[in-house]
Each structure stands twice: as C-alpha cells, then as structure tokens.
Structure 1
Amino acid sequence: MSRSAQNQGFTCENCGANVAPLSNGGYRNHCPTCLRSKHVDIVPGDRASACRGLMHPRRVEHRGGKGLVLVHECVECGFIRSNRVAEDSVQGDDIDAIITLMSEIG
C-alpha cells in the first residue's frame, strides 16, 4: 500500500472527531483528540487485520530516535502497538489529552 493511500482522513469511532490526514509527510494512525486508534494492521501500513477493534492508549513512552510514542492496546483482542505522537503545532495530538493520560497512569 502506498504512503498516500495510508494517509487518509477518517472519523474517529470513539469520539466522532473528523480527523484530517497529516500534511507533513507522516500519516495519521490515531485520533489527535481522544488518542484512540483502530486495529487495522498486522504489519504497520498493511491494513490486513480482520479484528478492527478500537485501540485505547495505555501509556506514553519516550524512545530514542522516535520521541514520544503512545502504546495502544486493542480492546477486542489485546494486540499492542506503539504509535508516534504527532507533535506538529497545527496538526499535532492534543497535548492536554497526553498529559491527562500520563497523569492517570503515572
């Protein structure tokens, strides 16, 4: 699947936010408002998972070379995947939601 095919907007199934695709060369894989994702991949970008369950953010980690990442867990099957935090000042993830998540688990 091409990068442009992966970089599509979507409506968040958790909060209903209309999520625009990123324009900075990356691609959006979780809602910037509620930080939820969807279990659509087996290997990042393949869209081959049949599960399609919502993935809730469980923690925030800092990883060298990647910066902040959200660790998501699928509520249907327990699959775990990490996703980089979008830090763009215009299209980035809701920093207040990230701080709230960090305070809830830390």
Structure 2
Amino acid sequence: MNKSLYGKKKKLPFSINTMITGILFLAFLGCILYGFNDVSSSAKEQQLQIAQKAVERAAVQCYAIEGRYPPDLSYLESHYGIILDTDHFLYHYERFGSNLMPEIKVFELEQGE
C-alpha cells in the first residue's frame, strides 16, 4: 500500500490562509479609507472656495449698488444678508480704498480652535 504523492493535493496550513485573507482585507480597507479621505479633502476645498466666492460676490454687489466696497465683513452681513460660518472658517478682509477690490481670503479652522 504505497500511496503516491502525486495524487494528493497540497493544502496550505490554516494559519497561512487566514494570514492571506487578513492581508487582502487590510489592503482593501486601506484603499477604502484612502478614498474617503480624498473625497473629504476635496469637499473641504470646495467649501473654502464657495465661502470665499460668496464674500467676493457680496463685495462686488455692494460696489455695483453703492459705488464703493464695504468697509468690513459686518457691513456685508447687515446690509447684504451674507452669513459667515465663523465656526468652521476664518475670514480675512482687508480694504485698501473704497474703489479698490479688497483682499478676501478664507481659511479653514482646525478642530478645537
């Protein structure tokens, strides 16, 4: 009763199969998390751009109606109905003159600031 080695299938030990499955799962999970991070980063960038464009549009509207740029952001809030999200963004508004476009920048606040 000599058994041939060619007739038997070699099976990997259970621990190696488990390790391969675990590695594939972790790689898949890593790809998903990277994708979520990329989408989140892109969404934050879009929010910054939208916030900045809203302030710029309100300033230009003020100039078109009144013939001068607003003195500060609170003027835009009270007279043009713009709502500033100061919980998430830091707004920089610097006016150089009543007839010159002000410097407007919006920055994201870090969590906990």
Going by fraction, where is strand more abundant, 1 or 2?
Answer: 1
User: What is the TM-score when the length of structure 1 is the normalising length?
Assistant: 0.20
**Greater fraction helix:** 2
Larger radius of gyration: 2
Question: With structure 2 as the length reference, what TM-score do the two structures score?
Answer: 0.20
